[in-house]
């Protein structure tokens, strides 16, 4: 193989790296809005790292949304691609498209020491699935399943679009206002960057309070700096994430553990560890004991999606199973 490239493409940024000797190299992050198409961003990336387009042989792109067929429309950005046209333009012999959180899940198999923070103590049940969930531009969810040969397979899904659960009167009141504005209220409506801002604005509306903060970063910063109202909103965010993560554990049987990934929670790990996440995570009535030994970690690795895309590409080249 001459050159293999992996990409982790979100709503705001596209992360690219070369895949060499089963590891990522020459990582660059490019804003998606600055490029009309993914092909243009890849050309710019290759030029920036001194690689010729003609040397490119295999590519794996981790993309938000369900992956099937020739045409793929990216979630949360303006890009789209045709597999056939993409390969023809770039002269590729291999193009693998996988769900972004399948790649994130496979990236959990490449974590190094110091890249996990314990949130809920526990012990991974042998042979059981693990859940990977993370708020970012959207809410990603995937399941990591152990295989008999020691490898792992990532099962893609769209768990971020399940219905937002209600566990208290205040949550019911918030949901009612969200429903009046959005119609269907999915988990991503509050458990994402834009969702945190939506949750703040809806909370302010419910409490007849002026909404003075205008970005997710401002809300997080205000909460960490002691603003009582911002803290209450961020607390509700953590509680709702616990409810959704717990629901997914029950659905998938993921007693192997839960990885909290994505770009948001690692920014306030200490707050998250003290929040109501753990209580809401296991608040399942008669099934609460199911969570007694389920460990939960926050992932602080810098590029787990790229690592996972590399794992998937390596599996394809070796003819082994992986995520899609």
| Beta bridge partner(s), residue 154 | 144
- Determine how many CB atoms are found less than 10 A away from the CB of residue 85: 13
Q: Identical fold at 3-106+303-318 and 116-300?
A: no
- The domain segmentation of the chain, as residue ranges, is 3-106+303-318, 116-300
Q: What is the 3-state secondary structure (H, E, C) of 264-303?
A: CHHHHHHHHHHCCHHHHHCCCHHHHHHHCCCCEEEECCCC
CATH number of 3-106+303-318: 3.30.420.40
CATH number of 116-300: 3.40.367.20
Q: Is 11 annotated as a binding residue?
A: yes
CA–CA separation, 18 and 57 (whole Å):
11
State pTM to two decimals.
0.90
> What is each CA distance from 270 to 227, 239, 265, 266, 303, in whole angstroms?
16, 15, 10, 9, 21
Write phi, then psi, for 31 (nearest 5 degrees).
-65, 125
Q: Is 119 annotated as a binding residue?
A: no
Q: What is the pLDDT of residue 320?
A: 57
Q: What is the pLDDT along the chain (324 residues), one digit of tens a residue?
A: 578 999 999 878 899 999 998 899 999 999 999 999 999 999 999 999 999 998 888 999 998 777 777 888 887 788 888 999 999 999 988 889 998 889 999 999 999 999 999 999 999 999 999 999 999 888 999 999 999 988 899 998 888 999 999 999 999 999 999 999 999 999 999 999 999 999 999 999 999 999 999 999 999 999 999 999 999 999 999 999 999 999 999 999 999 999 999 989 999 999 999 999 999 999 999 999 999 999 999 999 999 999 999 999 998 877 755 544
Q: Is 9 annotated as a binding residue?
A: yes
């Amino acid at each position: 193989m001459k050159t293999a490239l992996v990409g982790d493409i979100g709503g705001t940024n596209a992360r690219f790296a070369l895949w060499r000797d089963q590891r990522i190299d020459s990582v660059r992050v490019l804003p998606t809005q600055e490029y009309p198409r993914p092909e243009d961003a890849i050309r710019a990336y290759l030029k920036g790292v001194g690689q010729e387009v003609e040397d490119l042989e295999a590519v794996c792109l981790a993309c938000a949304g369900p992956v099937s067929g020739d045409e793929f429309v990216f979630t949360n950005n303006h890009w789209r691609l045709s597999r056939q046209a993409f390969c023809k333009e770039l002269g590729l012999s291999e193009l693998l498209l996988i769900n972004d959180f399948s790649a994130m899940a496979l990236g959990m198999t490449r974590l190094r020491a110091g890249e996990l923070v314990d949130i809920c103590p526990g012990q991974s049940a042998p042979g059981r699935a693990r859940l990977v969930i993370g708020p970012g531009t959207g809410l990603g969810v995937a399941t990591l399943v152990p295989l008999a040969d020691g490898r792992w397979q990532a099962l893609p899904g769209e768990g971020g679009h399940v219905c937002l659960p209600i566990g208290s009167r205040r949550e019911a009141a918030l949901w009612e206002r969200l429903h009046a504005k959005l119609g269907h209220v999915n988990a991503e409506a509050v458990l994402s960057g834009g969702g945190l801002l939506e949750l703040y604005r809806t909370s302010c509306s419910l409490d007849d309070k002026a909404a003075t903060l205008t970005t997710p970063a401002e809300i997080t910063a205000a909460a960490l700096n002691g603003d009582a109202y911002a803290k209450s909103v961020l607390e509700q965010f953590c509680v709702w994430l616990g409810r959704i993560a717990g629901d997914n554990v029950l659905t998938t049987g993921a007693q192997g553990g839960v990885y909290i990934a994505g770009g948001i929670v690692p920014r306030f790990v200490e707050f998250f560890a003290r929040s109501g996440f753990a209580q809401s995570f296991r608040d399942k009535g008669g099934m609460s004991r199911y969570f007694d030994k389920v460990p939960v970690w926050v992932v602080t690795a810098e590029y787990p999606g790229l690592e996972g895309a590399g794992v998937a590409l390596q599996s394809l080249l070796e003819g082994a199973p992986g995520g899609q």
